[in-house]
Amino acid sequence: MADKYNFRGLIIPLATPYLENGDLDTEILEELVEFYISKGVHGFFALGSFGMGAATPVEQRKKVAEVVIKTTKHRVPTMIQIGAVDPYTSIELGKHARSVGAEAVAMVGPYYYSDRTEWEIVEHYKMVDREVGMPMLVYNNPAYSGYDISASMMAQLKEAVPNIFGSKLADGNLGQAQRYMRKLSDFSIFIPAQNLFPGMLVGIKGSISPPLASYPELGVSLIKAIDDRDWNTATALQVKLYEYASLRGSFSSKYGRSVFTETMRMRGIAVKRYPRWPTKPWTDEDREAMKRGFQKVGMPL
C-alpha cells in the first residue's frame, strides 16, 4: 500500500524523558514535541531504540503514545513503535496506538530470540497486522534484533502484510537502500542522515535520525535545500552534518546516550534523566568542549 500519510523528510525519533526514579516526565515530553514542531520537523517516530521502547513498561509506553498524539494535535504525523519480544505485547500496543489516533505504527523485528526462522518472523508480523490493521513501518535494526531483514525477506514481508509501507534501515547505506528499491515498489525507505544527499535524489524518503534529535534545524535545512535543488547549499549542509555527527560520536563513545541529555539542557530543555539507566558523570571540561564544537558547526546554544 502507499504511505497514506506521506511520511517524508526529517522524522524525529523522540527520546523518552524520565524522572530520576524512572517514571515518565510527561511535562518535558510535551516540551520536546513542541520544540521539534517549532523547528519544522516533518513527523515523529516514538518509542523506538532512541525512545527507550524496549526499556519502558507497557503502561508507560501507552502513556508516551497518548502524550505525543495529544500534543502534536496531528500537526505532523506520528508513528508509534510497538515492537516487542512477543506478538501479544505488540498487538496490545498497536491497538492502543490506533485508539489514540496515531497515523501509523512501526515495529522492530521480534528480538532477543534471534534464532527465529524467517517463517516465524513473517508470521509474527502477520499476527500483529491482523489485529492492529494500520499502516506499518518495519524497523530493521540488526544490532538490536539480532538479525538483518534482507531486501528479499522484506519483499516477502510486504507481500504477506500489505499494510507495510516502508522501512527504517537503522545502519543502512545507499547501497542497501538501492537493493531494497530494486526488490520493492511503492516503498518508503529511511536511512541515516549522513546519506540524505544524494540519497533523496534517488528515491530515499528521508531519515529517522537520533543525532539530529539535538540539532533538528540542520536536517530540516538540508532537506529544504535538496527539495529546492540548491546543490551548493545541500553540499555544504551535508558536510556540516558529517562534522556534527563525528563530533557527537566522539562524546557518545565516552558518555553514551546522555549526550542527548546534555545537549538538550544546553538548548534550554531541562531533561532530568535520559536514558532510563545511570550514565557516566560528565566532566566540566568535556561539557565545554562539546559546546564549543557544536557552536562551531552552527548549533544554536
- What is the CATH number for 181? 3.20.20.70
**pLDDT number for residue 172:** 86
Domain annotation covers residue 113: yes
Domain annotation covers residue 41: yes
Is-catalytic flag, 158?
A: no
Among positive and negative, which fits the CA dihedral 89, 94, 95, 96?
Answer: positive
Is-catalytic flag, 139?
A: yes
Domain annotation covers residue 88: yes
The amino acid at 191: I
**pLDDT number for residue 6:** 85
Instruction: Choose among 23, 24, 73, 19: nearest CA to 44.
Output: 73
190 within 8 A of 161, measured Cβ to Cβ: no
Query: What residues make up the domain containing 160?
Result: 9-214
Output the tens digit of pLDDT for each of the chain's 301 residues: 446 678 999 999 999 999 999 999 999 999 999 999 999 999 999 999 999 999 999 999 999 999 999 999 999 999 999 999 999 999 999 999 999 999 999 999 999 999 999 999 999 999 999 999 999 999 999 999 999 999 999 999 999 999 999 999 998 899 999 999 999 989 999 999 999 999 999 999 999 999 999 999 999 999 999 999 999 999 999 999 999 999 999 999 999 999 999 999 999 999 999 999 999 999 999 999 999 999 999 999 8
**pLDDT number for residue 1:** 46
Tell me the DSSP string of 231-254.
Answer: HHHHHHHHHHHHHHHHHHHHHHHH
**pLDDT number for residue 117:** 95
Domain annotation covers residue 297: no
User: Which residue out of 168, 240, 244, 274 is catalytically annotated?
Assistant: 168
Domain annotation covers residue 162: yes
**pLDDT number for residue 79:** 98
**pLDDT number for residue 193:** 96
User: Which residue out of 125, 139, 255, 274 is catalytically annotated?
Assistant: 139
Domain annotation covers residue 256: no
Whole-number Å distance between alpha carbons of 42 and 51 = 17
Q: What's the total number of domains in the chain?
A: 1
Whole-number Å distance between alpha carbons of 36 and 219 = 12
pTM (2 d.p.): 0.96
Domain annotation covers residue 121: yes
Domain annotation covers residue 288: no
